[in-house]
Structure 1
Amino acid sequence: MADQSTKIEFYRHNLGEEEQRSVQECLRGLFLTTGGQVAAFEEGFSEYTGLPCTVALNSCTAALHLALLALDIGPGDEVITTPMTFIATATSILHTGARPVLVDVEPDTGLLDPEAVLAAITPATKAIMPVHLYGSMCDMRRLRAIADAHGLKIIEDCAHCVEGERDGVRPGALSEAACFSFYATKNLTSGEGGALSCQDPALAARVRLLRQHGMSKEAADRYHGAYRHWDMLECGWKYNMDNIHASILLPQLPRIDERWQRRAELHARYAAALQDVPGVEVTAIPEGSRSAFHLFTVLVDAARRDQVLNALSSGGIGVAVNYRAIHLLRYLERELGHGRGDFPRAETFGDRTISLPFWIGMGQKEVDTVAARLRELCAPMA
């Protein structure tokens, strides 16, 4: 039996001295809110993604919401998306007054099924919001073809996928906007934070306006040089990133690919350790893809999933569920009028999924311990 006294956290960040020095430098400066460090991060992140425009925000939720607003999506409109996601994907649509239209997923990847998207298009459909899950990208070439044929916008939920690529396409290359998360457990993290990246300077300019109440001047512009009055151009939100969070992100930018390589190695170790475990499936990565390797997620028998979760966590192994199909959550069930049976592939996926500990400081011993315990728990019943 695996040593159940061993504590293996679900996630540990890898922030260190460089991030501490960067924050200290920020704190020694005059300006703590949106200013020079934010601008430097936006420039560096654009350089990495290959997208010319980046607007730093306080969450991926803010990025999704502002992308919709900046594309004039609102009451009476429909946005097609997936039930296999975090709730913010759907609530960002609801916050605009538009309606999320959920469709089913691919059974082996959990990714949005393009053919289900095509079947759900109505005269009210204005956009598609694909979610790149666990680090794997949706089929953006197919989704772009569908969107172009029907005059639709695409807003990508890239919360799991800074480093991903599929069929030669990177996040944001085939969409109107790509929305990223820098939440505490993300590959690139500042505890909280997000960004919208795009190719259209006009779209970025509107998002930049909306992130600070619709004011004509941001704080850095208002307090440098001779005082000039500002105006309110439209009703916006308080969604800006501050210099402190940007200073945590800045030292990580040069190390994105180095850390990705470490997660790729860790993913391969896990996959090898679990390849012959009965009742455990490693979530599939689509062919032609470079995963961002954000999470290591497996599928187990739905009837035993919660028992396995509880046994792992009570034995000191951190776990999570990414995700239960969101149309079965109480509020969204009421709001959207769905129930069990409406999206059977997403429901099956959500009932089976377990995310295992996955952070770049893990070693072979931790991987072997988790794999051995999972093997014990998923062994066929006598």
Structure 2
Amino acid sequence: MFQHDLGAPELEMLAEVLGQRILTTGAYTERVEALLADYLGVKHALCVTSCTGALHLSLLGLGIGPGDEVITTPMTFIATATAIMEAGAKPVFVDVEPETGNIDPAKIEAAITERTRAIMPVHLYGLMADMQRLRTIADRHRLSIVEDAAHCVEGRRDGIRPGGLGETACFSFYATKNLTCGEGGAIVTNDTALYQRLKLLRVHGMDKTANDRAREGYTHWDMPVFGWKYNMSNIDAALLVPQFARLPATLARRQALAERYVDRLTRLADVDIPAQVAGTPDTCIHAHHLFPIWTERRDAVIAALQHRNVEVVVNYRAIHLLTYLQDTLGHRPGDFPVAEALGRRTLSLPFYPSMPPEDVDAVVGRLEEALAEAR
């Protein structure tokens, strides 16, 4: 399904870190933060242990907590919703666009109440949500935006990149992501005061880190706020540093593989492709984190593909129907019909930068067989 492309450059950087005194958050973490901020054109970046932690910290930094509501999408990984719950707030779902699976801006204002404090869009599969419309809605109702950009470090829409219009944008460096260190994440923001709060919240609320004390000599530290343990180590950061130089090339390979998939899949009658995956408008750059398709009899197709040694996954079933979220939030089938329909039909095909182009042809050939078997 996925193979990482880490190798000699990452091993060399890791060896360099292991020769240094500081293994926890330090100069290499700061280097990744500078690279990410420069790449995205934002003022500040902060590395953390996961995108879940980034979302959680963003909400805490914005003062969002018990009694508050955050509008988000049910077509996502569970962490989008659970991060809101970890902050003590309530996720309020809004249905999605049928063409893309992204949150539908036209349905957001009907979900806003006096308790709504923020919107948390997800840039699904690597396509940015419509941030201009979301920013207009947020400004009209004095709401913050926390972008779940776990799929979308390279994305762009209408000249806007992740972090350009949201109070924060949050990234994942999980094992399968376009930038990866196995586990990790980051927050970016243009708000300097918010960045300073997030730095405190990232490490127990302490105003000095171990790296600060090693660099400056020991001075007493204070804990001005209650914080969390979300800081990224130099070891994880070392794996990320060499990948920034490869981002344009790996994105180009993903784009070429996606185009090949689209060309082959358009010949299959039983397959639909999300609109912006099939042909991204000139105003967008799709990060192509995943290659999803939509098909009927999805589970039977998955079984037939696995029988043919093709590994596939589902990204995602609509999360409001998962047992815990149903029990906690009271949702039932039919609440968000577009997300539910996509969740019944979606599956992600094998897709990674080093994938040989001929493997795309092989996957599509086996998919055609699986579709016939599932009829």
TM-score normalized by structure 1? 0.95
After the TM superposition, which of the residue ranges 309-318 and 137-146 deviates more from structure 2? 309-318
Distance 1:284 1:249 in 2: 31
- 1:78 equivalent to 2:73? Answer no
Q: Contact between 2:318 and 2:343, CA under 8 Å: does it hold in 1?
A: yes
Distance 1:95 1:118 in 2: 24
Say which of 312, 325, 329 aligns to 2:322: 329
Secondary structure of 1:311's counterpart equals helix
Map of 1:315 onto structure 2: 308
Q: Contact between 1:296 and 1:355, CA under 8 Å: does it hold in 2?
A: yes
Q: Contact between 1:212 and 1:240, CA under 8 Å: does it hold in 2?
A: yes
Distance 1:378 1:226 in 2: 65
Say which of 190, 204, 212 aligns to 2:181: 190
Q: Contact between 1:296 and 1:356, CA under 8 Å: does it hold in 2?
A: yes
Map of 2:202 onto structure 1: 211
Say which of 158, 179, 185 aligns to 2:170: 179
> 1:188-246: per-residue Cα shift (whole Å, max 9, x none)?
00000000001011111111110100011011012334311111111111000000000
Distance 2:140 2:29 in 1: 37
Distance 1:93 1:14 in 2: 33
State the identity as a percent.
Answer: 54
Say which of 219, 232, 236 aligns to 1:241: 232
Secondary structure of 1:48's counterpart equals helix
Alpha-carbon RMSD: 1.1
**What amino acid is the match of 1:336?**
L
Say which of 82, 90, 96 aligns to 2:81: 90
- 1:231 equivalent to 2:219? Answer no
- 1:289 equivalent to 2:280? Answer no
Distance 1:166 1:118 in 2: 22
1:149-168 superposed matches below 5 A: 149-168=140-159
Distance 1:236 1:250 in 2: 27
- 1:61 equivalent to 2:52? Answer yes
List runs of 5+ in structure 1 lacking aligned partners. Answer: 1-9
**What amino acid is the match of 1:319?**
V
After the TM superposition, which of the residue ranges 371-380 and 85-94 deviates more from structure 2? 371-380
> 1:264-312: per-residue Cα shift (whole Å, max 9, x none)?
00100011010120110112216332100100000001xx111111121
Shift in Å, 1:38: 0.4
Map of 1:300 onto structure 2: 295
Secondary structure of 1:379's counterpart equals helix
Map of 2:363 onto structure 1: 370
Distance 1:260 1:72 in 2: 36
Distance 1:106 1:232 in 2: 44
Distance 1:313 1:49 in 2: 38
Distance 2:372 2:337 in 1: 26
**What amino acid is the match of 2:287?**
A
Distance 1:309 1:328 in 2: 20
- 1:340 equivalent to 2:333? Answer yes
> 1:94-148: per-residue Cα shift (whole Å, max 9, x none)?
0111100001000111000001111111111110000000000111000000001
**What amino acid is the match of 1:361?**
S
Distance 1:333 1:355 in 2: 25
Map of 2:350 onto structure 1: 357
Shift in Å, 1:380: 8.7
**What amino acid is the match of 1:335?**
T
Alignment coverage as a number of residue pairs? 371
Say which of 109, 129, 138 aligns to 1:138: 129
After superposition, the Cα gap between the structure-2 partners of 1:149 and 1:24, relative to the gap in structure 1 and judged at 3 Å, is: same
Shift in Å, 1:364: 2.2
TM-score normalized by structure 2? 0.97
Map of 2:10 onto structure 1: 19
Q: Contact between 1:279 and 1:379, CA under 8 Å: does it hold in 2?
A: no
List runs of 5+ in structure 2 lacking aligned partners. Answer: none
Distance 1:173 1:84 in 2: 23
**What amino acid is the match of 1:22?**
M
> 1:293-350: per-residue Cα shift (whole Å, max 9, x none)?
100000001xx11111112123211111000000010001111110110000000001
Distance 2:306 2:118 in 1: 39
Distance 1:88 1:331 in 2: 13
> 1:20-79: per-residue Cα shift (whole Å, max 9, x none)?
100010011111000010011100111101011000000000100000000000111110
Q: Contact between 2:300 and 2:374, CA under 8 Å: does it hold in 1?
A: no
Q: Contact between 1:278 and 1:379, CA under 8 Å: does it hold in 2?
A: no
